[in-house]
Structure 1
């Protein structure tokens, strides 16, 4: 049976076709434990890099190395999903390096802003979870299509902007113009809505998919949460500058 797709790369049909016999199945508790473990890894690495930056060390290598590594790891997991139990913790380390870099730079210019961004991210997560659990927002096929299209479009804009930066061209999403701020607001909203798709997929697969798929579910949640945090931090920085 074909399963519904989501915008999160961890939640695709490819990962769930393998229903090999296993006594242990994916559970919410298992996903929660693994997610908290990976978040703890990210937080620890972030704090460590933050400390290095405060001591005067160059942390740009951590930032760029983290984002490049996380992209490579994501691609590998996409094709080798059985490696997820080993690669997802490494992915968390890479994301910790990336977040440590951008958070340190943000804190240097705007003290305590990263803490505020973390707080907003947590509040947003539980708000979306509440809206999903109470069915105030119902995830229909039409809503899925809108979220997936919006997320793909946003990533495409980021890729084009990144390519243009090599030629010294700043795209419309850079700076603190009203257009750039509006784009960040839209991106943050879309990032939060992808959590709806993740929640639905987990709900449908709990107690059905093999136990090791919990790592893929964890990876999917990390992708959404990190994206949400980054968008919130960017938005707060732009608003603070204005």
Structure 2
């Protein structure tokens, strides 16, 4: 099995099932994914409200910018801990949902202030893509073949390198041309990233299904739910970026 989602690597399920017989199931993973999504959305709603309240009182929500940066850094740290210590997932996965909820709520508010209505559109499209791809996967319309997995993994790695280069150049005041603009190339790049992020969901579905079939330990339900949340947050942010570029034209 192979997936380009770093949280769901090839070795994620290479561990013996516990003697108690409590093993990972698809239903258990779905339930825990729902819990994490609900927690993330609740915290995001609170952060969203705080951002708009700050904007109404001071004329700007800039005071919450450090919270957005801090939560994104905290999310990265918790994600790395979860990836390297999978047994901690029942604790770290909810923590990740909380800090990412702070990040999602604030950044969504910033986008909404600039482009009213964009958050509802992005959220609708994100869940629409999730259910459409799940239906396509379950019906067999999309199959996670080895070549498919290799292609998505390579594309995801390439996107990561582009974003990494953009971030490093940003420290020196250099902006990577074209891809962040609202021109044809910038929109095309964002559309490509959205497609790759969406197709990562197919790989995740396949990996979770195989993990459950192998009788992986019960705690990996939290780990798998965490991996799906990582992909969904990435997809949502990329859809926000794409819609903002389209709206700014």
Q: What TM-score do you get using the length of structure 2 for normalisation?
A: 0.92
Equivalent of 2:6 in 6, 9, 17: 9
Question: 1:104, 1:115 → 2: CA distance?
Answer: 11
Once the two structures are superposed, residues 164-209 of structure 1 have per-residue CA deviations (whole angstroms, 9 ceiling, x without a partner) of 1111111132221211111100000000000111111111121511
- For 2:182, which of 130, 153, 176 is the aligned residue? 176
Unpaired segments of 5 or more residues in structure 1?
none
Match of 1:235 in 2: 242
- The answer to whether the 8 Å contact 2:182/2:248 transfers is yes
Matching residue of 1:212: 219
For the residues of structure 1 that align with 2:4 and 2:12, how far apart are their CA atoms? 14
Q: Does 1:199 align with 2:197?
A: no
**In 2: Cα distance, 1:30 partner to 1:12 partner:** 20
Residues 7-41 of structure 1 show CA distances to partners (whole Å, capped at 9, x for unaligned) of 11221233212114241111122111111111111
Q: What is the aligned counterpart of 2:92 among 87, 94, 105?
A: 87
Give 1:128's match in structure 2, choosing from 108, 130, 133.
133
What CA distance in whole angstroms lies between the structure 2 residues aligned with 1:38 and 1:111? Answer: 27
Unpaired runs of 5+ residues, structure 2, are 55-60
Task: Indicate the larger mover: 182-191 or 18-27.
Answer: 18-27
> Number of aligned pairs?
239
Moved over 3 A (4+): none
**CA–CA separation in structure 2 for the residues paired with 1:151 and 1:215:** 23
In structure 2, distance between residues paired with 1:51 and 1:76? 30
Output the CA distance in 1 between the equivalents of 2:90 and 2:191.
34
Structure 1: how far apart are the matches of 2:166 and 2:37? 29
Aligned to 2:229: 222
Which stretch shows the higher mean deviation, 183-192 or 162-171?
A: 162-171
Displacement of 1:216 in angstroms is 0.9
| 2:43–2:98 CA contact under 8 A, matched in 1 | yes
Matched, 1:66 2:64: no
Could you tell which deviates more after superposition, 146-155 or 69-78? 69-78
Distance 1:94 1:157 in 2: 25
Paired with 2:167 and 2:7, the residues of 1 have a C-alpha distance of 24
Query: 192-201 vs 64-73, which deviates more?
Result: 64-73
Q: State the 1:113 CA deviation.
A: 1.0
Instruction: State the shift of 1:127 in Å.
Output: 0.9
Residues in 1 aligned to 2:14 and 2:21: alpha-carbon distance in whole angstroms: 17
The alignment yields a C-alpha RMSD, in angstroms, of 1.2
For 1:18, which of 15, 19, 34 is the aligned residue?
15
